[in-house]
Amino acid sequence: MVGTVTSDDLSARRANSFGAQAATYAEHRPDYPATAIRWSLEPLGGGPQQVLDLAAGTGKLTGGLVAEGHHVTAVEPDESMLSELVRQHGGVRALPGTAERIPLPDGTMDAVLVGQAFHWFDKAKALTEIARVLRPGGVLASLWNDSDVTVPWVAKLNELGKSTVSHQHSVEEDIPEHEAYKDVETRKFPHTHRRTAESLVATIGTHSHTLVISAAEREELLTSLLTYLKSNPETATGEFDFPLVTEATRLQRR
């Protein structure tokens, strides 16, 4: 007899849904704006830093950190995602590991950055573990790309894009208080992702709420989104800039 599927079960399925889509994820997920990366590391005073990209996925944030000249270590629990990261960013030190068990010595990182992943962590354990690998005065920052729903057609797309599991899992990038950190700040940055109607639907198809539903529901959902985008003047033909907002939360290690 199969028991009731709990919210924890669903969350685990969603957290583990990306590996099979690693190549598609790398192709279609957006990067992060340099302005948000620079602001996240601002308390360190400039220059190349030792930065841990935690739960690095396929390296969307890693690429931005490397472009800014930092020395990056990427840690990711999913083998397929990590393999794709290595394929994309072969010069980066890449290690298997989790936010709750980081495979690095104490006090060796100037900063820990987390892109689109803090909500998957056991936050209390992760904050303690992150504090362990950060040097005193180091920075923890969580970055989150979201659709800019102040744009009417984007707001409608978001509504049309909800699946049957969308309301059963709340995405919370909030970082709770922890004795190891101080000076919590949050800032939002405008961002865009160059897309076509087809590639934007492919991006949405890499979101966990579309990966864990049935094949029939997924096909119906993505088809309806493509139909909408093809009927919308701003997105009907060719490339366009999909409006995003990147929210960054920054803390400093005591």
Residue-wise pLDDT tens digits, 216-233: 999 999 999 999 999 999
Measured CA to CA, the distance from residue 239 to residue 181 in angstroms comes to 43
* 19 has a pLDDT exceeding 70: no
Mean residue pLDDT across the chain:
91
Structurally, what CATH architecture does the domain formed by 7-147+168-192+243-253 represent? 3-Layer(aba) Sandwich (3.40)
Q: What does the DSSP 8-state code read for residue 21?
A: G
- In the predicted structure, residue 193 carries a pLDDT above the cut 90: yes
Whether the full predicted model's pTM is greater than 0.95, yes or no, is no
Q: How many CB atoms lie within 10 A of CB 214?
A: 10
Once rounded to an integer, what is the mean pLDDT over residues 238-245?
A: 98
**Contact by Cβ (8 Å): 211, 145:** no
Across the chain, the runs of DSSP E, i.e. the strands, are 50-54, 71-76, 93-96, 109-115, 134-147, 181-195, 240-253
